[in-house]
Homo-oligomer: A and B are copies of this chain.
Amino acid sequence: MNLAIEQALRAIENGQAPFGCVLVKDGRVIARAHNTVWHDTDPTAHAEINALRTACHQLKTIDLSGTELYTTCEPCPMCYTAAHWARVSRIIFGARIEDARNAGFNELPVSNETLNRYNPAPPELVPGFMEQECRRLFELWKQLGSGRPY
A residues near B (Cβ < 8 Å) are: 37-38, 41-44, 49, 52-53, 56-57, 60-62, 76-82, 84-86, 106, 108, 110-114, 117-120, 150
Contact = CB atoms under 8 A, between A and B. Distances in A.
14 contacts: A38-B62, A41-B62, A42-B53, A42-B56, A43-B86, A44-B86, A77-B77, A77-B78, A77-B114, A78-B82, A81-B81, A106-B120, A108-B117, A108-B118
B78 A150 contact: no
A-side binding surface: helix, strand, loop or mixed? loop
Contacts of A38: 62
Given A53-B44, A108-B117, A80 B82 contact: no
Copies of this chain per assembly: 2
A117 B107 CA distance: 10
A119 to B, nearest CB: 7
A96 to B, nearest CB: 16
A43 B50 CA distance: 11
A30 B53 CA distance: 24
Nearest to A80: B77
Given A41-B62, A76-B81, 14 more contacts: A38-B62, A41-B56, A42-B56, A43-B56, A43-B86, A44-B44, A44-B52, A77-B81, A78-B81, A78-B82, A81-B81, A106-B119, A111-B112, A114-B114
